[in-house]
């Protein structure tokens, strides 16, 4: 807020005449006055009622004061002397007012007590400041600051109320009227133009010239890290919330995505395999069972009469059985069952 008020005061001063103050009580003092403006010179602490003062430009007496009374003033139409504080005010300064002045002090007897010099320099004040900005091909911004009619102007730059650093500048000299800012720099840029009699500020809101910084890896593995013009960017196009940065998946992230895809495919194949096996088992379970065909082999059977035993009845012969062997036959396609029997030779003993 103080900076804004100061700027308004300075601009007001430029419009209606700038005023400067200078302490001329030391011998050889260097004072500056604004062209067309006012200079207030402190010639003494307080005029003495017992002394006489003469203020001269070379050999010409400009001001003659004795016992606090002004005896003569060659430029009284645009100047005034105040004995109570010892100041001499000169208005409407011109180039001819510049030069070396002397102040001679006498005692009441006319003896010279002091003789000291003062150098007055007249400068044209800074009347206006213009800022011109230009966006370069790689997103840098060149800013030029110019003043109208000022003598010996000096330039200084600030960004958001702090001095510019080398990391923000392509050219490190901030005491010139032209600087080049790097792509990432943004904020309130201020150019201050001053000389010995005035100072004026001019502000510019620095932007990124429509450029964005991209940092990504393309599908073919090429890494890109550079500033590009946003409207023509075709290198890395990915949604991002950052206004100046575009990012893409890293190689590590792409590796994780590929691994996840392979695992998902394996799980899918496993599920399909289990489903096929379960389906086959279910079909077998529902199919009618085929009875195994077996081939019967009968052993020889003999019926014999025991000696010495009378046959009381014909029924109830004694039978001797041999071994019966069942042999499995290979399964064949379903067909009407036919019994194949191999019968043993039966002999009846007497």
Q: What is the pLDDT of residue 236?
A: 63
Checking if the pLDDT of 55 tops 70, the result is: yes
Work out whether the CA dihedral 7, 174, 143, 18 comes out positive or negative: positive
Tell the burial category of 128 from Cβ atoms under 10 Å away from its Cβ (0-12, 13-18, 19+): middle
pLDDT tens readout for residues 184-233: 788 888 999 999 999 999 888 766 666 555 566 666 667 666 555 555 55
Checking if the pLDDT of 165 tops 50, the result is: yes
| Average pLDDT of every residue of the chain | 74
For residue 62, which phi and psi values (nearest 5 degrees)? -85, -45
Largest CA distance in the chain: 202
**Which residues, 6 or more positions from 23, have their beta carbon under 8 angstroms from its beta carbon?**
29, 42
Helices (H), the chain: 2-16, 251-286
Q: Grade residue 302 by pLDDT with cuts at 50, 70 and 90.
A: low
């Amino acid at each position: 807020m103080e900076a804004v008020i100061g700027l308004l005061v300075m601009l007001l001063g430029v419009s209606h005449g700038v005023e400067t103050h200078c302490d001329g009580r030391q011998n050889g003092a260097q004072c500056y006055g604004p062209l067309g403006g006012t200079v207030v010179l402190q010639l003494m602490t307080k005029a003495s009622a017992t002394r006489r003062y003469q203020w001269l430009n070379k050999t010409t007496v400009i001001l003659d004061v004795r016992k606090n009374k002004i005896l003569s003033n060659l430029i009284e139409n645009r100047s005034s002397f105040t004995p109570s504080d010892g100041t001499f005010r000169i208005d409407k300064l011109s180039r001819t007012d510049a030069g070396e002045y002397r102040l001679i002090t006498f005692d009441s007897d006319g003896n010279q007590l002091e003789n000291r010099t003062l150098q007055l320099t007249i400068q044209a004040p800074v009347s206006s400041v213009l800022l011109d900005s230009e966006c370069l091909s790689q997103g840098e911004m060149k800013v030029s600051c110019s003043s109208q009619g000022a003598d010996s102007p000096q330039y200084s730059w600030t960004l958001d109320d702090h001095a510019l650093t080398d990391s923000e500048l392509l050219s490190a000299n901030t005491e010139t009227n032209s600087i080049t800012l790097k792509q990432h720099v943004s904020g309130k840029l201020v150019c201050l133009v001053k000389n010995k009699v005035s100072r004026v500020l001019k502000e510019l809101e620095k932007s990124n010239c429509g450029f964005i910084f991209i940092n990504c890896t393309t599908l073919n593995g090429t890494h890109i890290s550079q500033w590009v013009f946003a409207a023509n960017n075709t290198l890395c196009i990915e949604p991002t919330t950052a206004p100046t940065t575009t990012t893409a998946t890293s190689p590590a992230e792409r590796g994780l995505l590929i691994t996840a895809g392979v695992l998902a495919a394996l799980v899918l194949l496993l599920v399909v395999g289990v489903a096929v096996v379960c389906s086959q088992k279910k079909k077998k379970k529902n199919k009618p069972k085929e009875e195994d065909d077996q081939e019967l082999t009968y052993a020889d059977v003999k019926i014999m009469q025991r000696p010495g035993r009378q046959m009381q009845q014909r029924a109830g012969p004694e039978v001797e059985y041999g071994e019966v062997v069942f042999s499995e036959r290979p399964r064949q396609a379903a067909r009407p069952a036919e019994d194949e029997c191999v019968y043993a030779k039966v002999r009846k003993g007497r």
